Amino acid sequence: MAEAFLRRHTPELFGLATLLVCVLGFEALIRGGVVNRYIIPPPSDILLAFERVIVEENILARCRDTAFEMLVAGGASVLVGVPIGVLLYRSALWRRAMEDWIGALAAAPIVLAFPLFLVLFGRSPKTIIVMGFVHGLAPIILKTVEGLASTRPVLINVGRSLKMTQSQMFWKILLPSAMPIIFTGIRLSWTFVLITIVGIEYLINLGGVGQLINELAERYDLPGTYAGICFVILVSVLFFLALERVESWLQPGR
């Protein structure tokens, strides 16, 4: 049984082993004085800092705040991005008019526009959420258009030959066929959203894990700072695991 478990989880175990080797490598380099411990603290110190940031800094509550902002911003970019994508797919003119702009939006470093958003929404979680949302929108729109447009013509012909209505065609053929590409868009988008949210928390010193990382850094608590970063990764992993669940629920058989 142990053998079967090993064989089934080989990739995961291999991944963990690689991570472990890297961590041990850093530990050795830092302890050996090759890497300055005031730039990167030894992993063992970071591990020890975990207790401190959990108990004293209450980082779990901050993760909850960040996760909440992430949920609202990420959810909103899906709820708004997919319909916009559908509209662009439907109207060739709109699509030609807008696609480049949206591509530019996707590439723009929106984080730098934070003063503008501060003026508009104040120093509140609203600013953080809106900025995350804006940054997360473009990839979802673009991938939705791409997904719908790449529906195999023969499937559309099946629909036509069955005399499907426009709305049946959309819900039962176009959307399911576009789903894998839309999910690629969501994954991209949520990466942007999380970066923006934590970045803005850090920059405007407000709310969740980003702010805590800022504080710890200002206190020169390097192990604590790195432990905080580990928690950002944790939040990200949770979201992507949830997304994977939703995807395999919506997309059986692929």
Positions touching other proteins (CB under 8 A) are: 152, 154-155, 157-158, 160-164, 168, 172-173, 176-177, 179, 251-254
CB of 156 to other proteins, least distance (A): 10
Nearest residue (CB) to other proteins, 76 versus 173: 173
CA distance 66 to 134: 17
- Tokens read off for 187: 């994954």
Smallest gap from residue 154 Cβ to other proteins (A): 4
- Give the number of other CB atoms < 10 A from CB of residue 231: 21
Q: Between the CA of residue 180 and those of 135, 144, 154, 215, what are the distances in Å?
A: 21, 10, 18, 40
Q: How far is the CB of 251 from other proteins (least distance, A)?
A: 6
Q: Which residues 6+ apart lie within 8 Å of 238 measured at CB?
A: 67
In the complex with other proteins, the residue whose CB is nearer, 67 or 174, is 174
Spatial contact of 128 and 68, defined as CB atoms under 8 Å apart: no
The residue among 58 and 157 lying less far from other proteins, judged by its C-beta, is: 157
Which of residues 32 and 252 has its CB atom nearest to other proteins in the complex?
A: 252
CB of residue 244 vs other proteins: minimum separation in angstroms? 16
CB of 164 to other proteins, least distance (A): 6
Q: In terms of CB distance, is 119 or 154 closer to other proteins?
A: 154
In the complex, the smallest distance separating the C-beta of residue 177 from other proteins, rounded to whole angstroms, is 7
Q: Cβ distance 67 to 235 under 8 Å?
A: yes
Q: How far apart are the first and last CA of the chain?
A: 28
- Residue whose CB is less far from other proteins, 150 or 157: 157
For residues 248 and 254, what is the distance between their CA atoms, to the nearest angstrom?
8
Which tokens sit at 120?
Answer: 């508009």
